[in-house]
């Protein structure tokens, strides 16, 4: 029993030390993650088929908006609200927090994002579930981003 208490106290101490990191510790973690195979682009924009910045016009594309809204309603809204937490995070302001490329990579590659990306791992710890792959194609993910852009601008 005494050894169990010692082990638990040691684990608690180590977790406390790890949680008290500074900017230098954060920088070292990013360096380690990069050494483990994540590029700067992947760290910022996610792991998946989107490997470079996408071009987004300033004006909303109405065709993409309609397509994106339909896909969102069919494949996303059962787990995501636009405002407030559900099974997954709220998406109404996701483009304030994440790049369009990150959102698309998460849609297109949720398993690998949860497994190998630091932000995906963080979300997995918070929401306790991996987003299921919804068989969304790249052009459909781009349409969802357009709908999210429209929503954020008009609400």
Whether 50 contacts 105, CB under 8 Å: yes
The residue-averaged pLDDT of 73-98 equals: 96
Q: Could you read off the pLDDT of 113-153 as tens digits, one per residue?
A: 999 999 999 999 999 999 999 999 999 999 999 999 999 99
Exposed, middle or buried, 45 (CB in 10 Å: 0-12/13-18/19+)? buried
The answer on 46 and 26 residing in a single domain is no
Quote the pLDDT of residue 37: 87
Q: How many CA atoms lie within 13 A of 144 on its CB side?
A: 28
Same domain membership, residue 48 and residue 19: no
Cβ count within 10 A of residue 130: 14
Tell whether 73 and 115 lie within a shared domain: yes
Q: What is the pTM of this model?
A: 0.77
The pLDDT assigned to 1 comes to 56
Q: What is the pLDDT of the chain when averaged over all its residues?
A: 86
Q: Compute φ and ψ for 19, nearest 5 degrees.
A: -70, -20
Assess whether 21 and 52 both reside in one domain. Answer: no
Which domain covers residue 140, as residue numbers? 39-154
Per-residue model confidence as pLDDT tens digits over 41-70: 999 999 999 999 999 999 999 999 999 999
- 52 and 102 both lie in a single domain: yes
The number of domains in the chain is 2
3-state class (DSSP) for residue 6: helix
Q: Are residues 48 and 95 in the same domain?
A: yes
pLDDT at 25 over 50: no
9 and 69 co-located in one domain: no
pLDDT band at residue 106 using 50, 70 and 90 as cut-offs: very high
Q: Do 59 and 31 lie in a common domain?
A: no
Of 8-12, 89-93, 123-127, 128-132, least confident by mean pLDDT is: 8-12
Q: Sorting pLDDT into bands at 50, 70 and 90, what band is 19?
A: very low
Query: Max Cα separation, the chain?
Result: 67
Burial label, 74 (beta-carbon count in 10 A; 0-12, 13-18, 19+): exposed
Residues 18, 85 share a domain = no
Angle at 42 between CA 41 and CA 47, to 5 degrees: 145
Write down the pLDDT at residue 27. 53
Q: Please, which contacts does 60-63 make with residues 24 or more away whose CB atoms are closer than 8 Å? A: 60/146, 60/149, 60/150, 60/153, 61/146
Q: Is the pLDDT of residue 101 over 70?
A: yes
Same domain membership, residue 30 and residue 7: yes
* Residues 57 and 120 placed together within one structural domain of the fold: yes
């Amino acid at each position: 029993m005494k050894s169990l208490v010692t082990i638990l106290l040691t684990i608690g101490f180590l977790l406390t030390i790890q949680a008290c990191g500074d900017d230098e510790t954060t920088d070292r973690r990013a360096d380690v993650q990069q050494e483990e195979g994540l590029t700067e682009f992947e760290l910022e924009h996610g792991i998946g088929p989107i490997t470079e910045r996408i071009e987004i016009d300033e004006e909303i594309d109405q065709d993409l908006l309609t397509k994106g809204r339909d896909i969102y309603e069919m494949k996303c809204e059962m787990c995501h609200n636009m405002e407030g937490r559900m099974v997954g995070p709220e998406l109404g302001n996701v483009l304030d927090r994440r790049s369009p490329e990150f959102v698309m990579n998460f849609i297109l590659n949720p398993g690998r994002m949860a497994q190998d990306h630091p932000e995906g791992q963080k979300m997995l710890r918070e929401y306790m579930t991996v987003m299921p792959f919804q068989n969304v194609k790249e052009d459909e993910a781009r349409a969802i981003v357009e709908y999210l852009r429209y929503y954020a601008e008009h609400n």
